[in-house]
Structure 1
Amino acid sequence: MTVFLVLTILLVLVAVGVTSYLLTARRYRSADTVASSYDQWTSDGILEFYWGDHIHLGHYGDPPRRKDFLRAKADFVHEMVRWGRLDQLPKGTTVLDVGCGIGGSSRILARDYGFSVLGVTISPQQVERAQQLTPPDLDARFQVDDAMALSFPDGSFDVVWSIEAGPHMPDKAVFAKELLRVLKPGGILVAADWNQRDDRQRPLTGWEPLVMRQLLDQWSHPAFASIEGFAEHLEATGLVAGSVETADWTQATLPSWLDSIWQGIVRPQGLIKFGPSGLVKSLREVPTLLLMRLAFGSGLCRFGMFRAVRAQR
């Protein structure tokens, strides 16, 4: 195969991916668009094949170091547990995992820490797949629920845990209140999210609004909150004891974006498993992943961590 032919094939693949990307935006319209997007990603199996059962970014250390892609995702869960000081809690602690995906984090929380975990997602396909992946003797259950209107009474859980669910929520204040409402007094909220730079302090300019528009439209996001803004929403509920603790994990998670693209190169067996349609679907996500790397690398976006304790009332 000549160099010219190889370059031609690569250019054709890039053109197919970009064309698919431009023609098939997944704009947020309602909770149904979020559910249908995740149903599709789950049923075709491509996301799970490349990203494993942890559909979130990995933790590569700070400063970052080279690490296996799937190992970094599991490490993220353990780092989040330690940062949230959940490792100090006893076995049997009840945890609500909001936006649980196919249950990767829920299973670690149940298996490695002895917690009793209930994972909720708006996607029926994710619930079904999470149940398939979870051993019957593991204390982790899953059900369909809406994070904007959780079906649990006030004060139901010792811990509320959430990873990268916030960008799908159309009203961040309502989301914040729901997370805290279902916590028992003295319970702990630990959340991790993709956040936009606080544009009250430094407005978006030049290319930044265009990139943010694509990041919202391509993965069914109504809006990103800022770290400062979401912490304010949590405190405004009147349900937080003291103040909200935050941290910026952008650098520790940044390698995930390019590493996720690299998986498609180093694991070519996916081409055989999913065929031409799978290749097109995979290529379709590459521009968004590159824009995510640009946004988080430039400071337009930040990876925010949030810890809050429910007030004793």
Structure 2
Amino acid sequence: MTNLTFATVLFCCLFIAFVFILLLDNRSYKSSKSVANAYDKWTNDYLLERLWGEHIHLGYYKQSPKKPDFRQAKIDFVHELVRWSSLNSLPTGSRILDVGCGIGGSSRILARDYGFDVLGITISSAQVERARELTPAGMNCSFEVMDALDLAFKDETFDGIWSVEAGPHMPNKQLYADEMLRVLRPGGVLSVADWNIREIENKPLTLYEKLILKQLLNQWAHPEFSSINSFKKNLLESPYNLSEVETEDWTRFTLPSWNDSIFEGIRRPLDILSLGGNAFLKGFREIPTILLMRWAFSNYLMRFGVFKISSK
């Protein structure tokens, strides 16, 4: 069999496998339970953790000649958002709520490097279990299963609120903003980073963009994306907000993450193969969505927005 024939057969087999998995594994948003189920599966099969490490979010790539390692870029992202949002202005021992904490990567950095008392919440029970396993004994960092749209805390409980890439899973963006601001004490700091759709008021979505957007929503259990301006408006119009909201577009700093998330499978093939053939198929299943995300962010359909506010 020639190399060309072998490559063709391999491609056909992978394509059939991809379609098969796609048909059997519908991850479109139906309710908060569908989000929880998706993250339970991603956590229990260890694929994301093996490829992405402890941080299930994009990295921050500084504009320098030397590109950082993918996992280091994720760590850099946490420190850069802390600096940009002025979360580091809070004193040691400040109580921080990490909304949508994943398996606790950011929570542990906030506790270890900044001395904060951190509580991470996620809707996924598997993520909470894994976050607890990864957190060293004695670290001022804990985790609970909780819905971000129904926070079980009194008003003004926390000194800082941290939320990275959780917003797209929220069906009610205003309630998401309200709940975070409700539990933030006066003088506290809000740090949010999210995937956002571009502003469409003056430039409506084309049919092609709508089709791509539908896939981006359906494949990773997202009900809808807000734009940077629309979520800024949610924060400004919240009855719990008493200050101005600042935003920036970090698309150019985070864009390399999408290619790197695929290249990690090439750099660490044994990490996938050690999990078995099913993990390989699951990893392959994600590639089209990752490539669509890369296209959407590089062609201004999607933007990476960061938000900060200092309550008075």
Report the TM range for the smaller structure's normalisation: over 0.9
1:277 corresponds to 2:273: no
Per the TM alignment, residue 7 of structure 1 is displaced from its structure 2 partner at its CA by 4.2
Q: What's the counterpart of residue 266 of structure 2?
A: 265
Alpha carbons of structure 1 residues 203 and 100: separation in structure 2 relative to 1, 3 Å: same
Q: What's the counterpart of residue 55 of structure 2?
A: 54
TM-score (norm 1): 0.96
Q: What's the counterpart of residue 249 of structure 1?
A: 250
1:18 and 1:287 in contact (8 A); partners too: no
Per the TM alignment, residue 239 of structure 1 is displaced from its structure 2 partner at its CA by 2.5
Q: State the alpha-carbon separation in 2 of the partners of residues 258 and 19 from structure 1.
A: 24
Per the TM alignment, residue 287 of structure 1 is displaced from its structure 2 partner at its CA by 0.6
Q: What's the counterpart of residue 304 of structure 2?
A: 303
1:232 corresponds to 2:233: yes
Range with greater deviation from structure 2 (69-78 or 58-67): 58-67
Per the TM alignment, residue 276 of structure 1 is displaced from its structure 2 partner at its CA by 1.3
Q: What's the counterpart of residue 200 of structure 1?
A: 201
What pairs up with 1:202-221 in 2 under 5 angstroms? 202-221=203-222
Q: What's the counterpart of residue 132 of structure 1?
A: 133
2:273 and 2:280 in contact (8 A); partners too: no
Per the TM alignment, residue 275 of structure 1 is displaced from its structure 2 partner at its CA by 1.4
Secondary structure, aligned partner of 2:204: coil
1:170 corresponds to 2:165: no
What pairs up with 1:59-208 in 2 under 5 angstroms? 59-62=60-63, 66-208=67-209
Range with greater deviation from structure 2 (203-212 or 221-230): 203-212
Q: State the alpha-carbon separation in 2 of the partners of residues 79 and 41 from structure 1.
A: 27
- CA offsets 1:231-272 (integer angstroms, 9 cap, x no match): 000010132233100000001000111110111112110343
Alpha carbons of structure 1 residues 148 and 65: separation in structure 2 relative to 1, 3 Å: farther
What amino acid sits opposite 2:163 in the alignment?
S
TM-score (norm 2): 0.96
- CA offsets 1:36-59 (integer angstroms, 9 cap, x no match): 000010011001000111000000
Alpha carbons of structure 1 residues 63 and 17: separation in structure 2 relative to 1, 3 Å: farther
Structure 2 residues without counterparts, runs of 5 or longer = none
Q: State the alpha-carbon separation in 2 of the partners of residues 307 and 212 from structure 1.
A: 26
1:25 corresponds to 2:33: no
Range with greater deviation from structure 2 (102-111 or 258-267): 258-267
What amino acid sits opposite 1:219 in the alignment?
W
1:172 and 1:225 in contact (8 A); partners too: yes
1:190 and 1:308 in contact (8 A); partners too: yes
Q: State the alpha-carbon separation in 2 of the partners of residues 189 and 63 from structure 1.
A: 28
Q: State the alpha-carbon separation in 2 of the partners of residues 61 and 14 from structure 1.
A: 36
What amino acid sits opposite 2:208 in the alignment?
W
- CA offsets 1:186-235 (integer angstroms, 9 cap, x no match): 11111000000121232111310001100000000000000000000001
What amino acid sits opposite 1:308 in the alignment?
I
1:64 and 1:255 in contact (8 A); partners too: no
Moved >6 Å (runs of 4+): none
Q: State the alpha-carbon separation in 1 of the partners of residues 138 and 161 from structure 2.
A: 22
What amino acid sits opposite 2:161 in the alignment?
V
Secondary structure, aligned partner of 2:309: strand
Q: State the alpha-carbon separation in 2 of the partners of residues 50 and 190 from structure 1.
A: 26
Per the TM alignment, residue 273 of structure 1 is displaced from its structure 2 partner at its CA by 1.0
- CA offsets 1:271-307 (integer angstroms, 9 cap, x no match): 4312111111111111100000010000000000000
Q: What's the counterpart of residue 286 of structure 1?
A: 287
What pairs up with 1:5-16 in 2 under 5 angstroms? 5-16=6-17
- CA offsets 1:159-208 (integer angstroms, 9 cap, x no match): 00000000000010010100100000111111000000121232111310
Q: State the alpha-carbon separation in 2 of the partners of residues 252 and 236 from structure 1.
A: 29
Secondary structure, aligned partner of 2:275: helix
Structure 1 residues without counterparts, runs of 5 or longer = none
- CA offsets 1:84-133 (integer angstroms, 9 cap, x no match): 11222211011000000000000000000001100000000000000000
Alpha carbons of structure 1 residues 64 and 120: separation in structure 2 relative to 1, 3 Å: farther
User: In angstroms, what is the RMSD of aligned CA positions?
Assistant: 1.5
